[in-house]
Amino acid sequence: MLSRQELEANNERFWTSFTDSQLASTPARKLLVLTCMDARMDPLRMLGLRAGDAHIVRNAGGRVSDDAIRSLVISQQLLGTRHVVVMHHTKCGLLNVTNDELRQRLRPILGHGVGGMDFLPLGADVMESVRKDVNSLRQHPLLAPDTVVQGFVYDVATGRIAAVD
């Protein structure tokens, strides 16, 4: 675990050479990327983007959840994004697992509070999970009608992305 001192020292190295103060909160590329919180993924680098180019929304599995929709609505309506990329990845912890299995695994640690929780598992096919999330977004009534939604799968072994039709 990183200590407070390590985090502060890391931040000092960052802020002493910081040059991004002129960036706007509106993403320059009008892009929002919805992806997994997996530590192996760096969405900006993976897509050849820089700070200020896109909004990055991350959650377990990179799923279209209520909170992801909340962020997307704010990004679109207040900050003008019109392009959404949904990106899941290979070797995700939410692949090949069910809600029941996750609840059974977590109940001894967290108690019965996880009983009704939907962990939004990906199922057995990562390409299909992207298709479902892309379709869910395309049909969502709060999505701006001129939005382009694309889906990809990131391969954590090679660094490549594959488009999902």
Residues 9-50: tens digit of each pLDDT: 999 999 999 999 999 999 999 999 999 999 999 999 999 999
Average pLDDT (51-68) is 98
Per-residue model confidence (pLDDT) at position 139: 97
Q: Determine the Cα–Cα distance for residues 78 and 55; give it in Å rounded to an integer.
A: 12
* Beta strands at 148-154 and 83-89: parallel, antiparallel or unpaired: parallel
> What's the CATH fold of domain 25-164?
Beta-carbonic Anhydrase; Chain A (3.40.1050)
Kindly report the number of other CB atoms within 10 A of residue 145's CB atom.
6
pTM of the model: 0.94
Per-residue model confidence (pLDDT) at position 165: 86
Residues 17-24: contacts with CB within 8 Å, 24+ apart? 20/51, 20/52, 23/51, 23/52, 24/52
Per-residue model confidence (pLDDT) at position 77: 97
Q: Are 78 and 45 a contacting pair, CB within 8 Å? A: no
Q: Which residues contact 162 (CB under 8 A, 6 or more apart)?
A: 127, 152, 153, 155
Residues 102-160: tens digit of each pLDDT: 999 999 999 988 888 999 999 999 999 999 999 999 999 999 999 999 999 999 999 99
Q: Determine the Cα–Cα distance for residues 117 and 135; give it in Å rounded to an integer.
A: 23
Average predicted confidence (pLDDT) for the chain: 97
